[in-house]
Amino acid sequence: MDTIKYTLPEERMPTAWYNIQADLPEPLPPVLHPGTHQPIGPADLAPLFPMELIKQEVSTERYIEIPEEVQQVYRQWRCTPLFRAHRLERMLDTPAHIYYKYEGVSPAGSHKPNTAVPQAYYNKQEGVRKLATETGAGQWGSSLAMACAFFGLECDVYMVRVSYDQKPYRRALMEAFGARVTASPSPMTQSGRAVLAEHPDSSGSLGIAISEAVEVAATSGGTIKYALGSVLNHVLMHQTIIGEEALLQLEMAGEYPDIIVGCTGGGSNFAGIVLPFLAAKWRGDRNTRIIAVEPAACPSLTKGPLAYDYGDTAKLTPLVKMNTLGHDFVPPGFHAGGLRYHGMASIVSHLKHLDAIEARAEPQLRCFEAGLMFARAEGIIPAPEANHAVRGAIDEALRCKAEGKGQTILFNLCGHGHFDMQAYIDYQAGKLQDYEYPQEEIAMALAGLPNIG
Ligand SMILES: *Cc1c(COP(=O)(O)O)cnc(C)c1O
């Protein structure tokens, strides 16, 4: 009988996160103060984050212990299964071996609780009363709302207007966990009011919602802190539990990946599965190809320049060197809501710059097509974001077929699409269109970037 899934017992769950900063051949470029353009220190971030997370953000320790209380929560759904996609392989008639790590088994349905839980924990430890955050499609907001409920924190979520209107079920989930959800741009903050004054009908963007949440935290006098669901170094580190588990599970399968594929919005689920394998590659003999797949409509990694930029629209955040489409970027209303951020994690941008990873952009119709193929073969409806990883894995499997190569492909199925069925309805009704982010827009984004000497 073919083995279908590789499961690790709770006792074998990794008890440390992997920190790539210990092994980078060149360190990350410094993060700069938005006013002075000088490298920032821990004190600059203290109004926004608890000290433990600030330390993790800049740590060069290779492994960081996962606190006992966080492990306890993780164990509700971890270790997550690694599946061998036998039926998909047969459907594609490929000699490739396809494996996927399934993060959709978390209570919120994606990888996001892997970082929401430790973020809530460290904030609670440091006496914070409330967390403010933004959410696009609602996956991050619902994960943080859940984590806040576990640790007795209040949770204030600024939800991008277009999703707030289109995704009532994600909003209901956040409210069920006890969070307060506000459509962004909102009249509650200066940043929101500034946008509304110019564009009363603004559909919002992650960049605007981040400005609102950051403003709420920064002006709270310390009782409210801010939480971000992707992009930051500590967030990517929390996600490495995915790859650490996958290493052990593939060992059970007696295989090692020739290719690893992940989708990239801000870069966290991609980094989570990839970084532990990249460490193994840098240590020695493994030659794994690592592929990031992003939406053609928001192509930060493939088309955005590597430059210093703000993390938000109102320019409240520090300046980070990253592949960016510009902090003013307002994406078209296509459906992979979680992949609509203007920038890419500094770590992922840096790895691209070092040629340690490949990147490609895919239009959404090809991604939905791949997602439905996957669903019919494997029975899991992927989140629209995850369809980009499915597309990348299927394309690699088809290349293997054409070349007659039995390579091993691993991809991250970072979430299920049960709250995204409207997107599938629209796709099946032929209502979705491809959209390529125009070159002129990219040029305009470039023009709006801060001038760092
Ligand atoms: C948030 C989200 C993403 C995008 O964020 P990353 O930080 O790039 O992982 C992708 N897929 C799902 C299912 C998400 O919830």
CA of 332 to the centre of ligand 1 (A): 18
Question: Over 80: is that where the pLDDT of 180 sits?
Answer: yes
Q: Cβ neighbours of residue 281 under 8 Å, at least 6 residues apart?
A: 287, 288
Q: Record the pTM.
A: 0.97
- The mean pLDDT of 32-37, rounded to a whole number, is 93
CA nearest ligand 1 atom 3, residue: 338
Q: What is the pLDDT of residues 379-388, one digit of tens each?
A: 999 999 999 9
CA of 139 to the centre of ligand 1 (A): 8
pLDDT at 205 over 80: yes
Model pLDDT, residue 179? 98
As assigned by CATH, the class of the 16-66+112-233 domain is alpha beta
Q: What does the domain layout of the chain look like in residue ranges?
A: 5-10+76-109+240-446, 16-66+112-233
Q: Identify the residues whose C-beta falls under 6 Å from ligand 1.
A: 110, 112, 139-140, 230, 263-270, 338-339, 383, 385-386, 414-415
Q: List the one residue out of 355, 320, 331, 334 whose CA is nearest residue 230.
A: 320
Find tokens 């995204």 and name the residue: 420
Structure confidence at residue 1 as a pLDDT band (50, 70, 90): confident
Average pLDDT of the segment spanning 158-184: 95
Give 126's DSSP letter.
T
* Ligand 1 atom with least separation from CA of 270: 9
Which numbered atom of ligand 1 lies nearest the CA of 235?
Answer: 7
Contact 161, 185 (CB under 8 A): yes
Ligand 1 centroid–CA 338 distance in Å is 5
* Tokens describing residue 421: 């069925």
Task: Choose one of 273, 385, 387, 391 to mutate for the ligand 1 pocket test, by most ligand atoms within 8 angstroms of C-beta.
Answer: 385
CA 398 to ligand 1 center in whole angstroms: 25
For residue 188, which phi and psi values (nearest 5 degrees)? -75, -20
Query: Taking 90 as the threshold, does the pLDDT of residue 452 lie above it?
Result: no
Taking the centre of ligand 1 as the mean of its atom positions, its distance from the CA of residue 152, in whole angstroms, is 25
What integer pLDDT is reported at residue 125 of this predicted model?
A: 98
Asked if the domains 5-10+76-109+240-446 and 16-66+112-233 are classified in one and the same CATH topology, the answer is yes
326 with 206: CB under 8 angstroms? no
177, amino acid identity:
F
- Orientation of helix 168-176 relative to helix 139-151, angle to 10°: 10
Distance, CA 320 to ligand 1 centroid (Å)?
20
Distances (CA, A) of 312 to 109, 210, 322: 26, 6, 13
Secondary structure class of 446 (helix, strand, coil): helix
Cis peptide before 185 (omega within 30 of 0): yes
Hey, whose CA ends up nearest to atom 10 of ligand 1?
385
**Closest residue (by CA) to atom 14 of ligand 1?**
338
Task: Decide: 445 and 328 in contact? Cβ < 8 Å.
Answer: yes
Per DSSP, 110 falls in state: B
- Token pair 């040629």 is found at 355
Beta-sheet strand order (sheet of 154-160): 180-184, 154-160, 130-135, 224-226
Residues 6+ apart with CB under 8 A from 373: 88, 91, 390, 394
Q: What is the mean pLDDT of residues 8-29?
A: 97
List strand residue ranges (DSSP E) for 35-148, in order: 63-65, 82-84, 97-102, 130-135
Ligand 1: which residue has its CA nearest to atom 7? Answer: 268
Ligand 1 centroid, distance to 247 Cα (angstroms):
21
Q: Any idea how long the chain is?
A: 453
User: Which pLDDT score is estimated for 243?
Assistant: 98
Atom of ligand 1 nearest to the CA of 386: 11
Amino acid letter at 171? R
pLDDT value at 333 more than 80: no
Nearest atom in ligand 1 to the alpha carbon of residue 103 is 13
Query: What pLDDT band is residue 407 in, cutting at 50, 70 and 90?
Result: very high
Q: Looking at the domain that runs over 5-10+76-109+240-446, which CATH code has it been given?
A: 3.40.50.1100
Question: Is residue 337 very low, low, confident or very high in pLDDT (cuts 50, 70, 90)?
Answer: low
172 Cα to the center of ligand 1, angstroms: 20
Query: Encoding tokens for residue 413?
Result: 């199925």
Alpha-carbon distance of 341 to 405, in angstroms, equals 36
Task: Report the residue among 159, 268, 357 best suited for mutation to probe ligand 1: largest number of ligand atoms under 8 A from its CB.
Answer: 268
